[in-house]
Structure 1
């Protein structure tokens, strides 16, 4: 009797493929496990730190990496720059690098994006040897066309950038809370920034609306930058031009100011004495070292301007009992400005209040020291109310105004003018002569001649 069934024998070929597949799967998992261990190791983090140090002169350390999609992520990086680096210190938390999946096994590696959460950078003046002082910045093309052809970056994004620089770099300052996106554009980098607060020496806080431009080997070409006072969104500053980064490139910037409150930029008593809103344009030129070489020329206007309790005008108003010069609206307020390191000069000043008052001249501020010469013109019928004083203090002009020269000195916190002392001295002289005449009228002169031989 034949057996009802026979055991099926497994094909050797099928068995081979099953074993091969199992080995392949185990090998893949083993490889992934091995790579994962390597990536998460301190050795890999230290290796990445050495790569950064090689190209940036920044000594630092990464926290261990982990896989994140088709890329890597680390919780933080902290580093300090060497003396030849423009970066004094840097901190990143977190950092994510995403690769294109099709480019993982090829060359160059295509980095789809580098994403940084919080980036804090402190700049410094690098100490470069003479042969490196004209070194160009790395370009986008340099990464694509380098001999090793290892990396190609498509996008860099920073969610929260904090950047600060010392007083030796443009007077010092900082930017906080900026969002920055960077993309390669031919041989350069396309920059697009939003948000943030800019703090500069002697200026109020400025809120950043946007900055668009192109970072080249030697400069940053600003196509559009808009900032406004943090306390007043209507007070805006628009910037266009070229900002030099390395020699021999030069800086050429155009600044347009709109509705800037004067009390936000003035100091000392001037904050209360000159009111209104500043507008105008300034052209700024400089060598690569902007802080030491800049020269600016501009034309300014004051809208809704007023002179409030200006000392020499208040003294004249009190003496004449006019009640017209204590708070003067300016119907014309125009001047030119020149800017140089530690120096601000206002010249060709032309301020008018209808047909009552004119003020012309110049004022220079060197650090905190003030010098200047102003010509004050008042309507003729007012000067005629100064009995015996008009001729001493004022000269008649062809424009039916009487003019006097006023010299300024002192500091921005304590400005002195020489007109008020001259007015007081002239008034005292008039009073003294009046008293003498009254005494002569009331008392016989012979009595005083007996007492005072030289009495007239």
Structure 2
């Protein structure tokens, strides 16, 4: 119907379903939407949707009808991790997701930015956590309840940047930092990792040479993630074994083989000689790196979902 200003109109819609042409986008059940048109601009005053099983989505924004750009703000609430994560991650991460985001479009590529918060999060069955449990000789890392999980994000041209990322489990571990994944899936992650004292006490030198006492009563160290989504690399394993040297290995009485403590991975003479000379180690972190690979591959699948690179639905 015509609005107050000349040449302006307003409209209202209720009920109905919005279906977007991407496999990753959920069916959106409309509650109520209010729109206004004036001066070649379409304004979405407000719109609310029910998404997934029990989630809600609120949108507002504006769009040029001449194709000169658009901007929309969104608020997503009460969505279970299992509803949006790839199948390989549904048994590994649980909790409720909420997000505030902005989508900006122009003649250039669109940009999506905002923040994500995970409530009641639980991490379990991760290869990396299992490896850390083995090194620390504890089961505390096999299931981690997160008191805090959040990050700011920005996605454009297939590249994703995570800033102010925090994962924290009180009395156990805290991870803080940033992660960039470029369009070719190259990684550059720079983190601070904090552990409660005593976790790595069985690894000689870990809590005195690699980690340092800091805030929150934790022991802290820097962690650098490089490589690619398919072949990630991290620098912590090398520093742990460098600090411990030959003290990280033991001889099995029944076979006489030399193995890496806790994981019982057999080492060769070349690695032993390398350690005795005090050189840098190339292969000793294999177990942890392989575990990290599974984690980052899962992150890559999540990135694909937000980036819209999944195959489009054939029937739409």
TM-score, reference length from structure 1: 0.48
1:368-403 alpha-carbon deviations (Å, 9 max, x no partner): 615222322110121323234334543332432122
Q: Which has the higher contact order (CA 8 A, sep 6+)?
A: 2
Deviation at 1:271, TM superposition (A): 4.8
Q: How does 1:410-449 map to 2 (within 5 A)?
A: 414=230, 416-418=232-234, 421-422=237-238, 425=241, 429-432=246-249
- Assess if the C-alpha contact under 8 Å between 1:258 and 1:280 holds in 2: yes
Contact 1:303 / 1:333 at 8 angstroms: preserved in 2?
yes
1:395 aligns with 2:212: yes
The residue number in structure 2 matching 1:365 is 181
Displacement after TM superposition at 1:415 (Å): 6.3
1:290-342 deviation digits (Å, cap 9, x = unpaired): xx343343232111112223333321212223211111111112221223232
What is the CA deviation profile of residues 274-298 of structure 1, one whole-angstrom value per residue up to 9, with x for unaligned ones?
33222131233333x3xx3433432
Counterpart Cα distance in 1 of 2:63 and 2:17: 20
| TM-aligned CA distance change 1:311 to 1:393, over 3 Å | farther
Partner of residue 19 from structure 2, selected from 193, 198, 204:
198
Aligned match for 1:242, one of 55, 62, 67:
62
Residue-pair matches, total: 248
Within 1, Cα distance between the matches of 2:17 and 2:143?
38
Q: How does 1:81-230 map to 2 (within 5 A)?
A: 183-185=1-3, 186-193=6-13, 194-201=15-22, 203-210=24-31, 211-229=33-51
Q: Of residues 84, 92, 109 in structure 2, which corresponds to 1:265?
A: 84
Q: Extract unaligned runs of 5+ from structure 2.
A: 257-275, 277-316
- C-alpha change, 1:416 and 1:364, in structure 2 (3 Å) is same
Per-residue CA distance 1:143-175 (angstroms, 9 max, x = gap)? xxxxxxxxxxxxxxxxxxxxxxxxxxxxxxxxx
Q: Give yes or no for contact 1:224–1:239 (8 Å, CA) kept in 2.
A: yes
Per-residue deviation, 1:213: 0.8
Deviations 1:104-143 (A, max 9, x none): xxxxxxxxxxxxxxxxxxxxxxxxxxxxxxxxxxxxxxxx
Identify the residue that residue 298 of structure 1 maps to in structure 2: 114
Superposition deviation, residue 270 in structure 1? 4.7
Asked whether the 8 Å contact 2:203–2:248 carries over to 1, the reply is: no
RMSD: 3.3
Equivalent residue, structure 2, for 1:386: 203
Secondary structure of the residue aligned to 1:383 is coil
Closer/same/farther in 2, CA of residues 406 and 206 from structure 1, 3 Å limit: farther
Aligned position for 1:319: 135
1:280-359 residue pairs with structure 2 within 5 A?
280-287=99-106, 289=107, 292-359=108-175
The alpha-carbon distance between structure 1 residues 409 and 273, as it changes in their structure 2 partners (threshold 3 A), is farther
Which residue pairs with 1:277 in the alignment? 96
Between 329-338 and 214-223, the greater mean CA deviation after superposition: 214-223
Unaligned runs of 5+ in 1: 1-182, 440-454
1:406 and 1:269 map into 2 onto residues whose CA distance is 25
Question: Matches of 1:274 and 1:410 in 2, distance apart?
Answer: 24
> Cα gap change, 1:315/1:281 in structure 2, threshold over 3 Å: closer, same or farther?
same
In 1, Cα distance between equivalents of 2:219 and 2:231: 24
TM value normalised by structure 2: 0.66
